[in-house]
Structures are given as C-alpha cells and as structure tokens.
Amino acid sequence: MSAAHEIPPIYVTQPYLPPLAEFMPYLEQIWENKWLTNGGPFHQQLEQALCDYLGVKHIALFSNGTLALMTAMQALRITGEVITTPYSFVATSHSLLWNGIQPVFVDIDPVTLNMDPAKIEAAITPQTTAIMPVHCYGHPCDVARIQKIADNYGLKVIYDAAHAFGVQTDGVSVLNHGDLSVLSFHATKVFNTFEGGAIICHDAKTKQRIDNLKNFGIVDEVTVVAPGINGKMSEINAAFGLLQLKGIDAALQQRQAVDARYRAGLAGVRGIHCLPDTGEQVANYAYFPILVRPDYPLSRDALFQKLRDCGVFARRYFYPLISDFPMYRGLPSAAQSNLPVAGKAASEVICLPIYPTLSGEQVDFILNIIVGQ
Ligand code: T4K
C-alpha cells in the first residue's frame, strides 16, 4: 500500500472550526431577531471586538477581501497607476483592474519576498497615485521606507494585508500602517468568517465613507452619495467571527508549534530554504513557504508532485506570478526582465500545510518526504 493510502489527504490548510454546538446560540439569536444583514447587531459587535483584539481604531467589515480591496481604492479615489507586487494572489491586482487602474509591478526583496522599497521610486510616473504592497505570508513590509517614499511623492499607501491578521511590529498592529489596510477572512485564512474581509482606517470620516460605499453609497432613505457596491458582511458571518475570535489565540499557538517543528526538521537540509520572519514581534504563522533551491536533489515541481503522490496537497503560492497572467502580461512592468527576484521565488516556492489541527505526526510525515530525497 502506498503512503498516499495510509493517511487521509493533507491540504495546504484546513479552516479552524469551533464545535458546532457553540454556534447554535448565535443562530438562535439571528432567528429570533430576524436581522440577517445590513449592519445588524453581530456585525456591530464584531467590528468592536476586532478593533479591540487587533489594536486598530476603525474597521469596516466586508463580505470578502476582494470587495474590500476594490472599495479601498474607491474610498481614497485612487486613479491612474498604482505600484504593486506581482508576487501575490491575483485579487491584489484584479482589484485595480476592476477600478480601471493600471497596476505597475515592481520586483520583490529576495529575503522577505515583499515589495522591494528600493525599486519603487523608479516606477513612479506622473500618473502614479498610490502604492499597494502586500504583507506576503503575514510578514510585514518595510513600512517605514514605503511611507517615506509615499510622503515624498504625495502617494497613498493601501496595504493588502489579507495574510496579516494579528501581526504586530514595533509594538503595534501592522494594520495601522499606510492609509488603509485590507484583511481577508476567507476560509483559508488564520481568522475566518467562511467568507469575509475588512478595511482598517484611521479616522471616523473615512470609516463613514467606506461604510457608505459598501452599502450602495446609501446615506439614508433618500440620499445616495456615491456609486457604491454591495460589500456587506451578513449576520451569520459576523456571528461566526465572534465565535472564532474566542479561539484565535489558541489557534495561533498551535500554528506556532507547527512552524517550529518544520523549522527544526528542515534546518540544515541542503537546498531547502525556510523564509525567516521579517522582525515581527507577534507573528501569525499563516503560511509555511519553503524555497527549493538547485542544490536540492529534486526540482521544485518534482518535490511538489512527490508530496502529492503521498497525499500532501501543498501549494505553489505564488506561482505563476500575477504579471504572467494574460490580462497583465502585456504591461511594460510585467516583463520578466523587470521582475527577476519575483520570477525566481515563484519558481522555487512551495507552501507546506499549516493549520491549527495539523498534528506533529502529520508534520513529521511531510518532513520525512522532504528530508528523505
Ligand atoms: N489578497 C491576497 C494577498 C490574498 O491572498 C487573497 C486571498 C485576497 C487578497 C483576496 O481575499 P478574498 O477575496 O479571498 O477574501 C485561496 C483563497 O481562495 C484565497 O482567499 C486566498 N487569498 C488564496 C491565497 O488562497 P485557492 O484557489 O488556493 O483556494 P482553494 O479553494 O484551492 O483552497 C486551498 C485549500 O484550502 C484546499 O485545498 C483545501 C483547503 N480548504 C479550502 C476551502 C475554500 C478547506 O479546507 N476548506 C475550504 O472551505 O485560493
């Protein structure tokens, strides 16, 4: 019998789900209230609870992270060109195209795999209005350098913080940097509401504009101030978020243990490079990327396939680069010669499974496949 049949498949992630019975009282309340969406009581409670937990001033909940990104651009009236990273999930750039904005790709830093601040200035043109970096895998960008460039050129900074729930750097939430930060609460994320997302902002006026925009631009029964969209989070998702929040610290600790076991098991394995953290004081262990270098006995894709053959469904986040997809590859900034570091990372990366209930035995099983080649 092959290894694949000895254990159930292991996916790159598995959502953390509290016992179903604990969710029933929330559902009963919804059934009693008959308030299903449009900023109901659970929605309000979750916004407050997340502000407290994350240490941020204002948060606007959304039905998913992509709509939150799209709305973030509208909220700040971003137009023209936005400087961003090709090494991310497609939603990052798609949110720009949906707003008629041209993404301008800059290369990434070889250590952090985040946008390389040294490459930003050369990409700025008279049409540039904003920078949209990604805290890739939850590792904070060089927020100080990015802000300095933005200030010098009068640009807005919108962080795609889809991976960065709970991450702290320099004693504060990384979500407090930039003009806006956008979270994803998708099923595959550290904190999930099945589907969901949020925009973090610094002042009540911006929060009001975002709240209007996510509700069709409606201010009151007879006033519509903007061509808004329907981006609202429902009461079921918000209630689930409140329940999830109770278990988040334990879930993060379990993730940390998985991360530590991988690091110990992979230390010194020739050709396997684990990404270091980028100085965060509180990490969230959202992903466990490894880079498979030429001195490893197998190619990246051969190892990826080997893992699959053994029932381990790791993922190559982020291969292909966003800039290689058909709707982007014609852009001048999408040229491979402009993005050599990102191209290399995309050809080497494998994200190994990491989630709270991944057992030590499962991690060891995965490590044995990698170390045993
Ligand atoms: N910006 C960044 C940087 C992002 O990474 C994302 C999302 C966004 C923006 C947009 O936020 P959202 O609009 O999604 O809120 C997944 C997710 O769908 C996506 O949310 C995420 N990034 C991206 C990195 O990963 P896929 O296509 O890899 O998902 P999928 O369905 O293959 O799921 C991966 C594995 O997770 C499955 O093999 C099994 C497990 N899984 C998945 C789901 C959906 C479960 O166990 N249960 C589930 O319900 O994109």
Q: Evaluate: CB of 129 within 6 angstroms of ligand 1.
A: no
Quick one: what percent of the chain has pLDDT higher than 90?
A: 95
Give yes or no on whether 3-14+248-371 and 20-243 have one common fold.
no
How many contiguous H segments (helices) and E segments (strands) does the chain have?
Answer: 11, 16
- Ordered by start, the domain boundaries in the chain are 3-14+248-371, 20-243
Whether residue 324 has pLDDT greater than 70: yes
152 pLDDT tier (thresholds 50, 70, 90): very high
Q: Which fold has domain 20-243?
A: Aspartate Aminotransferase; domain 2 (3.40.640)
The C-alpha angle with vertex 176 and arms to 172 and 182, in degrees rounded to 5, equals: 130
CA of 186 to the centre of ligand 1 (A): 6
* Rounded Cα gap, residues 182 and 205, in angstroms: 17
- pLDDT score of 1 more than 60: no
Q: pLDDT digits over 248-295, tens only?
A: 999 999 999 999 999 999 999 999 999 988 778 899 999 999 999 999
Pocket test for ligand 1, best of 11, 96, 159, 188 (most atoms within 8 A of CB): 188
Given this model, what pLDDT does residue 157 score? 98
The whole-chain average pLDDT of the chain stands at 96
Handedness of CA 207, 182, 91, 151 (dihedral sign): positive
Environment class of residue 337 by beta-carbon count within 10 Å: exposed (0-12), middle (13-18) or buried (19+)?
exposed
187 in ligand 1 pocket by Cβ < 6 Å? yes
User: For ligand 1, what atom is nearest to the CA of residue 69?
Assistant: 9
CATH superfamily entry for domain 3-14+248-371: Aspartate Aminotransferase, domain 1 (3.90.1150.10)
CA distance 287 to 189: 9
Which pair of structure tokens corresponds to residue 250? 């334990």
